[in-house]
Amino acid sequence: MILLERIADHYNDIADQTAVDSVSDGVVSYGELWEKSGKLANYIEEKMGADKSPIVVYGHKQPYMIIYFLACVRSGRAYCPEDISVPDDRVRSIIERTGCGMILTAEKEHDVLSGAAAEVIDIDKAEEIEAVQPEMITEDKAVSGSDTFYIIFTSGSTGTPKGVQISADDLDSFTSWSIHLGYGPEDKEGAVFMNQAPFSFDLSVMDLYTSLASGGTLKTIDRKTQDDMSALMKTFGESHLNYWISTPSFATMCCGMPEFCEDHMPDMRAFLFCGEALTNTTARRLREKFPKAKIVNTYGPTEATCAVTSAEITDEMINSDEPLPVGVPGPNTRINIRGLDGREMPEGERGEIIISGKNVSTGYFRDEAQTDKVFFDDGMRHYHSGDEGFIKEGQLHFTERMDFQIKYHGYRIELGDIENNLLKEPGIDAAAVVPRMREGAVKNLVAFIAGMGDPKDPFGEGKKIKDALREKLPDYMIPKKIVFLDKMPVTPNGKADRKALKGMVR
C-alpha cells in the first residue's frame, strides 16, 4: 500500500520529525509512530490469529490514537475510530456490531468499554507490550488492495448507524489526490496540518492522511481547547499552522476573533474545507483576514473516502451572487449528474450526483441490503450519493440533499435518526425535525412534536426531552428547540408536512 510505504520512508528519512503533536497529550515522532505501531501490530497478530474482525479504537486527540490506527492496519485488520463525544450507547452498539475481539484506547477513563467481550488495551498496557516485543511486524501482514483500512459509522435513517468500509486502495486513491490540494506535495513536506474534527468523523481523514503521506506534522486540537476561544487563539499563535482543515462552521466561529488573522498566524498557506457548504460570506471574511492564503472548497461523502472534488476559491467566485462551487474531481474519480430516469443531465441542469472510480467504498459493513441500494459495480464502482447538484463550466455545484439527510457543522445527520429516537420518549406520538437554514448552510435544528398537548413550561419540558435524547445521540444531533404542537400537520399521503413545518421556522 502506497500510504504505508510512504510512512515507512519517513521512518527511515525523518525519524526525528514530529508526526503528531497534541495540545496537552504530548507528541510522537515518525520514528516512534512506526516502531510502536509495528510492535503493537505484532502483539495484535499473535493474540488475534485467525480473527480478522475490525478493532475499535476509542479516545480523543491523543497521538496514541494514530499509533493504534497504524497498529491495526499493519496487523492486517481494519480499525473503527470512536471519539469520546460519541454517546456511550452508540459506542457499545458499535463494539457489539463489529464483533471486535480487541479494543485499543487512549483514554484513562474508559468505563464504557468495561462490558465488552473484548480485550481492552490502554496506553499503559500498550507501552508494556512495546517494551517486551522485540520486533516490528513484517510488512506482508498489512492491509492492502481491497482489504478494509477503516470503518466509519454514520447516521442511519432508521436510527441504526451504517458502517462505511474504506479499503487500502480507496485511501491510496484519496491521498494521491489530496497531497496536491492547495499547493503541491513538496510544499507539504514538514508542513503543519491542523486537525479539528474528531477521528470518528471522516473529515479527519483529510488532515491525518494528507499529513502522514507528505511527511507533515499533524496538530490535533482537543475539544477543551476548541471550546475556549482564548486558549484556541493562543494555540493557533504558537502552532505555526500551514494547512487548515476544518468544517466551514469552525472557521466561521474563529472569524469572530480579532487574533484570527495573518499577523497572528503568519504561516497559513491554505484553508481546506469539507463537510458542509462553504458560504460566500465566510470565504470573504477569510480572504480579508488571510489575504495570502489559498481557500480550497472540497466535496465528497464518507462513502467515497472523504472528498472527491476540489475548487480553489477565487475573488470572482466570492463576489458573485452564485453559491461557491465544490469543484472538479481528481484523476481517479468521475462525476455524473443523473436525472430521475437514470439519463445523464445536460450541463447546468440539476440531478443526483453519481460518483465513480477508485475512491468509492466497497460497501456498508455487514449490510448487503443497504449496500445494494446505493453501490453499483460494472467493473468500476459507482455510488449514488443522494446529493443533488449540477455541473456548470466544468465545476460541480452542490444544491441540496434529495432525502432527509443534512449536514450540520459538517456532521452528517439523518433527520429520521433523531425523529425515531424522539418517538421512543413517552408521550410523543409524532415527531419531525426541520433544519433552520442560513445562506445554504444549516444553522440549527428544530424538533416539532405532537402528543404532549400544550405544556405550561414549554422551555423546561423541551429541556427534559433534550436531556433524554442526549443519552442516545451525539451533541450535534440534539435539536436546539422543541416546539409542541397539538397535531402534526400532514400531507395528503399522511406524512409529516415538512414544507408547512419549514414555514413555521422563522
Partner 1 sequence: MEEKILDLLADICDDDIVKEDKTIDMVEEELLDSLGYTELLAELEEMFGIVLSPSAVSKNDVATPEKVIALVQSKMK
Q: Which residues bind partner 1 (CB under 8 A)?
A: 226-227, 229-230, 233, 249, 252-253, 255-259, 436, 443-444, 446, 459, 463, 466, 480-481
Closest CB 415 distance from partner 1, rounded Å: 17
Closest CB 479 distance from partner 1, rounded Å: 10
For residues 124 and 227, which CB has a smaller minimum distance to partner 1 in the complex? 227
Closest CB 232 distance from partner 1, rounded Å: 9
Closest CB 53 distance from partner 1, rounded Å: 38
Cα 196 to Cα 230: distance, rounded to the nearest angstrom:
16
- Please check whether residue 67 is in contact with residue 44, taking contact to mean a CB–CB distance below 8 angstroms: no
Cα 166 to Cα 154: distance, rounded to the nearest angstrom:
13
What is the pairing mode between strands 375-377 and 381-392? Answer: antiparallel
CA distances from 430 to 385, 444, 471 (A): 28, 20, 20
- Please check whether residue 65 is in contact with residue 26, taking contact to mean a CB–CB distance below 8 angstroms: no
Q: How many CA atoms lie within 13 A of 235 on its CB side?
A: 23
For residues 184 and 258, which CB has a smaller minimum distance to partner 1 in the complex? 258
Q: Any idea which residue has 469520546 for its cell?
A: 84
Closest CB 261 distance from partner 1, rounded Å: 13
For residues 249 and 405, which CB has a smaller minimum distance to partner 1 in the complex? 249
For residues 227 and 341, which CB has a smaller minimum distance to partner 1 in the complex? 227
For residues 337 and 446, which CB has a smaller minimum distance to partner 1 in the complex? 446
Closest CB 253 distance from partner 1, rounded Å: 4
Note the helical H segments in 411-497. 415-423, 458-470
For residues 213 and 449, which CB has a smaller minimum distance to partner 1 in the complex? 449
Measured at the alpha carbon of residue 397, what is the angle toward residues 407 and 316, in degrees to the nearest 5?
115
For residues 258 and 348, which CB has a smaller minimum distance to partner 1 in the complex? 258
Return the amino acid letter for 199: F
Cα 207 to Cα 328: distance, rounded to the nearest angstrom:
20
- With 0-12 / 13-18 / 19 or more C-beta atoms within 10 angstroms meaning exposed / middle / buried, residue 384 is middle
Closest CB 25 distance from partner 1, rounded Å: 22
For residues 294 and 443, which CB has a smaller minimum distance to partner 1 in the complex? 443
CA distances from 91 to 112, 131, 184 (A): 8, 30, 38
Closest CB 416 distance from partner 1, rounded Å: 22
For residues 255 and 500, which CB has a smaller minimum distance to partner 1 in the complex? 255
- Partnered with residue 433 across adjacent β-strands are 447
The end-to-end CA distance of the chain, in Å, is 51
For residues 44 and 232, which CB has a smaller minimum distance to partner 1 in the complex? 232
CA distances from 359 to 131, 176, 412, 413 (A): 38, 11, 19, 22
Residues whose CB is less than 8 angstroms from the CB of residue 165 and which lie 6 or more positions away in sequence, other chains included: 78, 148, 150, 151, 361, 362, 363, 364, 365
- Please check whether residue 83 is in contact with residue 201, taking contact to mean a CB–CB distance below 8 angstroms: yes
For residues 249 and 371, which CB has a smaller minimum distance to partner 1 in the complex? 249
Query: Sign (positive/negative) of CA torsion 308, 313, 316, 322?
Result: positive
Q: How many CA atoms lie within 13 A of 278 on its CB side?
A: 31
Closest CB 459 distance from partner 1, rounded Å: 5
Cα 256 to Cα 268: distance, rounded to the nearest angstrom:
18
Closest CB 438 distance from partner 1, rounded Å: 11
Closest CB 289 distance from partner 1, rounded Å: 13
Cell, residue 343: 439519463
